[in-house]
Amino acid sequence: MISPRDTDFGELKIAPRPFSVGVDAGGSTGWRCWVWTTTGVVLMLLLVQFITGLLLAFYYVPSADHAHTTVSFIEKALPAGPWIRALHHHGSQWLPLFLFLHLLELLWRGAYRTRAARWIATVVLLGLVMAAGATGYSLPWDLRAFFSTRVAEGIVNGLPLVGSSARAWLLGSNEISTLTISRFFALHVLLTPLLILLVVGWQLFVRRSNPPGVTAEEEHSENKAESPIKKISRSRAVVVNQQTRNVLMAAVVFLLLGLYSHKFPAPLGPSASNATADYLPRPGAQFVWLYQTLKYVPGAWGSLVGVVLPGLVLLMLAMLPWLNRKPFRRITNRPRRNIGAVILSLSIVFITSMTLISYVSDRRDPRTRQQLAVQVAEEAAFRREPFVPAMLKEADTANVPASAASPGMSATGPPLAYTKLCATCHGEHGEGARQGTLKFPPLLSVAEKPRRSVADIVGILNDPTAYGLEPPMKSFATKLRDDEKREIAAWVVTLKTTR
Amino acid sequence: MRDNDSSGLAPDKSRRAFVLLLPFAALGGMFATVATAAFRFLRPVVSASSEKWIDVAQVAELSGNKPVARKIVAEQAAGWAKSLAEHSVYVLPGKNNQVLSAVCPHEGCEVSWRDDESVFACPCHDSDFAVDGRRISGPARRGLDLLPSRVADGKLQVQYQSFINNTQERTPRG
């Protein structure tokens, strides 16, 4: 049966009331009209992500040198910084949850049939939000970020056919580096938000009747008998009421998110440059199921489980509106509803159980529990440390006349820790020294050599042999605090040879 | 809530108006919360100007009446970063070793001493200043800026400051 509505397939129409989203006329009464408010919550959470993300971008610098410093600055030095970052962090985990609930609501209401465009948009949005979460995890450049990037690298590398080049394209080089941060930054801050905006804008401002091949059916045929005027006034009141509920529910969830973020700041550990072998990485809550699953599948299948399978599930969901075909109908009367229900409930069971198993096994194993507790304590200790600004090398001190700056001196004196631990060998001002037959190298102009940036010098202090240095230069990994190492390194790079 | 749901007839108008106020109040509350946080978050960070005394020259080396050009390196703090910046100054041995910043108070170019004309000349907009930093001609609205200086251990030392440009008053930045 072809109704007049079926003829405007594929034609773009400007929605008459752009903000009457999430509402389709009456029929919703009682408890359901409060449950059917996920649209408002999802829109609110998206808005929170955009606003807090924008605010964070005012300070964040996507480079291996400064990413961690700028995030620490946000956490430790800026008013409201921890709250804003926590909103962004927790919001990124609540968003997929509420998008999933929105999908359930849409399935329940048969949107795959009456509003296929909305259904598809929601599935796409779920994929985009997960992608935004995956790319965002790398940006703070602490240990957690570093290992999440490692895992992403491995998963991408294992993709069939395109794996190794996809890995290189994702990292921007052959190793995780400052190029990788830039790439993840561009993907997280420009590309995914743009795509999300396009999808949401399409849903907010442009309505499309069902895509080609989907049979459009009126949802509320009982209203047809009403007079047109009565129908309009009735549906307007319904829209206003439902919109009120959407806003109120969004406000309640916002309040909860705000309080939660106030209580629990977003995690931030020491910089990725201080990697220790016993660190146990754990992903964000929205990826715990994936992390747990990777334990059970042979390594070679990891990418299939991590990317291909979720991709196929999303694709299947997105195609639901077209699955009303004869072969399916032969099995069941309402193939779309049943297929959707099966996929979504299997996902719920799978994701919930994997997540639970992961948390339980982390608590059961005493060694894991202990190491995780150590990491929590380390993060807490790092959080209490005062913020140490990064030293930018700017002035060309070589031009400074000898009378202005003493030979081999920087504008500032050596840090106390340097004088205590380094000066006996490398000289009070980095000029080097001789003890018996041992000759210790000067540190002047060392920054002009390759692999001697501030981060490198901190690395040398932690593990000199990794940089090809031989004893008597020894590791100061445990003898110096991290901020002392950074302070020394920042000072050493300013040293210049006397002219 | 039942009577609000299914009919647009709204039997109780004042209650309905009140209910309709709720979402606006909720929206307003959310925006106010976020806006307050955003304001505090984005408010410019004022870093205290450096109190550090920087060596300029040995007092014994300074003589004559001509200004002596020197470069100093000062630490500059800005939020998450500190940097070293090089600045030009002029020492006036004929004026009790006063130290002038070489930054033109007009638009911030660097003035240079012209021996033949005995003026500090700005290469950008042709402001001229006398040997003691007084403004002679050009668009600058005040003379060259004097920096706090002292003598310690036979060394002339200075506290570096920069001043807001193109004003009559001398207002330090930060």
Measure CA A481 to chain center. 29
The sheet that has B54-58: what strands, in order across it?
B54-58, B155-158, B149-152
Higher-confidence residue of B53 and A440: namely: B53
Higher-confidence residue of A469 and A246: namely: A246
pLDDT digits (tens, 9 = 90+) for A279-332: 888 898 999 999 999 889 888 788 888 888 899 999 999 999 888 777 777 777
A160, A159, A187: which is closest to A171 by C-alpha? A187
Over chain A, what is the mean pLDDT?
Answer: 82
User: Among all residues of chain A, which has the CA nearest to that of B16?
Assistant: A241
Map tokens 């929205």 to a residue: A286
pLDDT digits (tens, 9 = 90+) for A102-145: 999 999 888 888 888 889 999 999 999 999 999 999 999 998 89
First vs last Cα of chain B: how many Å apart? 57
ipTM of this model? Answer: 0.80
Residue partners of B15: CB distance under 8 A and separation at least 6: none
Q: Alpha-carbon distance A342 to A230, whole Å?
A: 40
A245, A196, A191, A195: which is closest to A45 by C-alpha? A196
Residue partners of A218: CB distance under 8 A and separation at least 6: A3, A5, A114, A224
**pLDDT at res. A436:** 56
**pLDDT at res. A170:** 92
* B11 at interface of A, judged by CB pairs closer than 8 A: no
Residue A406: pLDDT over 50: no
* A240 at interface of B, judged by CB pairs closer than 8 A: yes
Residue B169: pLDDT over 50: yes
Q: What is the mean pLDDT of residues A325-344?
A: 84
User: Among all residues of chain A, which has the CA nearest to that of B44?
Assistant: A78
Q: Tell me the nearest-neighbour CA distance from B81 into chain A, angstroms.
A: 5
- The pLDDT-based confidence of A227 (bands split at 50, 70, 90) is low
Q: Alpha-carbon distance A84 to A92, whole Å?
A: 12
The answer to whether residues A162 and A168 touch, using CB atoms and an 8 Å cutoff, is no
Tell me the residues of chain B between 131 and 150 that have a Cβ less than 8 Å away from chain A: none
**pLDDT at res. A215:** 55
- The SS3 of residue A436 is coil
The answer to whether residues A306 and A155 touch, using CB atoms and an 8 Å cutoff, is yes
- The SS3 of residue B84 is strand
Cβ neighbours of B29 in A, within 8 Å: 251
**pLDDT at res. B35:** 96
Strands B135-137 and A390-392: unpaired
Residue A470: pLDDT over 80: no
Cβ neighbour number for residue A164 with a 10 Å cutoff = 12
Q: Alpha-carbon distance A139 to A67, whole Å?
A: 7
Cβ neighbour number for residue A241 with a 10 Å cutoff = 22
Residue among B34, B73, B81 minimizing CB distance to A390: B81
**pLDDT at res. A447:** 77
Cβ neighbours of A236 in B, within 8 Å: 8
Lowest-confidence region among A64-73, A80-89, A472-481 = A472-481
Q: What is the mean pLDDT of residues A200-222?
A: 63
Cβ neighbour number for residue A267 with a 10 Å cutoff = 19
| C-alpha distances out from residue A353 to A185, A356, A358, B91, Å | 32, 5, 8, 75
Q: What is the mean pLDDT of residues A459-470?
A: 81
Q: What is the mean pLDDT of residues A15-39?
A: 62
- pTM of the complete model: 0.75
User: Among all residues of chain A, which has the CA nearest to that of B73?
Assistant: A411
| Chain B interface, best mutation among A78, A223, A259, A491, by max B CB count within 10 A | A78
Residue B53: pLDDT over 60: yes
DSSP A248: H
Chains A, B: CB contacts within 8 A come to 143
The answer to whether the Cβ–Cβ distance between A77 and B83 falls below 8 Å is: no
Lowest-confidence region among A254-268, A435-449, B16-30 = A435-449
**pLDDT at res. A396:** 52
Percent of chain A exceeding pLDDT 90 equals 39
Map tokens 């599930």 to a residue: A313
Q: Alpha-carbon distance A70 to A62, whole Å?
A: 9
The answer to whether the Cβ–Cβ distance between A390 and B80 falls below 8 Å is: yes
| C-alpha distances out from residue A358 to A285, A293, B46, Å | 10, 9, 46
pLDDT digits (tens, 9 = 90+) for A145-193: 998 898 889 889 988 888 889 999 999 988 899 999 999 999 999 999 9
- The pLDDT-based confidence of A5 (bands split at 50, 70, 90) is very low
Residue B44: pLDDT over 70: yes
B15, B41, B48: which is closest to A56 by C-alpha? B41
